[in-house]
A and B are shown apart, each in its own frame.
Chain A
Amino acid sequence: QVQLQESGPGLVKPSETLSLTCSVSGGSISSYYWTWIRQPPGKGLEWIGYIYYTGSTNYNPSLKSRLTMSVDTSKNQFSLNLNTVTAADRAVYYCAGQAPNSNWFDPWGQGTLVTVSS
């Protein structure tokens, strides 16, 4: 059973870059489209984008200009970089898997809260 675990700084300064990594265990990095989803405290879910093990990406147009995703198949990890962050980027960030030929998200990581503050 595939399990996901997010890691990264819980505090980022305004205008700097938010960087998170998701570690995949119990399955192959080539098995899913690897997705990031975020949730501001007390609010709803927002799809950020996904990366496939080939490096192919699909980003939310509203975040695309600030977003970079990467995958490290040797480490079974994928990463998210969101630059020029503001307080509006404060959220719980989840990594999740999207099986090929599906358009739902399962499994999910436990999530990690990122706060933007000086």
Chain B
Amino acid sequence: QSVLTQPPSVSGAPGQRVTISCTGSSSNIGAGYDVHWYRQLPGTAPKLLIYHDTNRPSGVPDRFSGSKSGTSASLAITGLQAEDEADYYCQSFDSSLTGYVFGSGTKVTVL
């Protein structure tokens, strides 16, 4: 199982706000390592959505925001749109495993 835990699914109506949690431990998020988020549309490669906890790459709408506290991080999507239906993954570094780790993934459904 994944080192970083995410809810398997979240859903919301168009225009609503949803949040995805990413729970780690003292050897990864809790140790202060950055958290990054990726969006994976069906049949495509993941794409960077948030880096360094809260930063958006050029071209990513400000509807997407990241936060981190303690051993957890969160991705918020406001103004949910149909095109936001995708799988979302968090990623960090784990000092115990001495490598990069991903979350279990969360499927966002727009009702």
Contact = CB atoms under 8 A, between A and B. Distances in A.
Interface of A: 44-47, 49, 58-61, 94, 102-106, 108-111
Chain A facing B: main interface SS: loop
Q: How large is the interface on B (under 10, 10 to 19, 20 to 34, 35 or more residues)?
A: 20 to 34
Interface stretch (B9-17, B18-26, B70-78, B92-100): B92-100
Nearest to A47: B100
A108 B47 contact: yes
Contacts of A111: 45
Interface in B85-111: 89, 91-93, 97-105
A94 B45 contact: yes
B91 A104 contact: yes
Contacts, number: 55
A103 B102 CA distance: 12
A111 to B, nearest CB: 5
A49 B104 CA distance: 19
A59 B93 CA distance: 13
Q: Most chain-B Cβ atoms within 10 A of its Cβ — which of A45, A102, A108?
A: A45
A94 B98 CA distance: 20
28 contacts: A44-B103, A45-B38, A45-B89, A45-B105, A46-B102, A47-B99, A49-B99, A59-B99, A60-B99, A102-B51, A103-B33, A103-B34, A103-B92, A104-B34, A104-B36, A104-B48, A104-B51, A104-B52, A104-B91, A105-B36, A105-B46, A106-B47, A106-B48, A106-B57, A108-B46, A108-B47, A110-B44, A111-B45
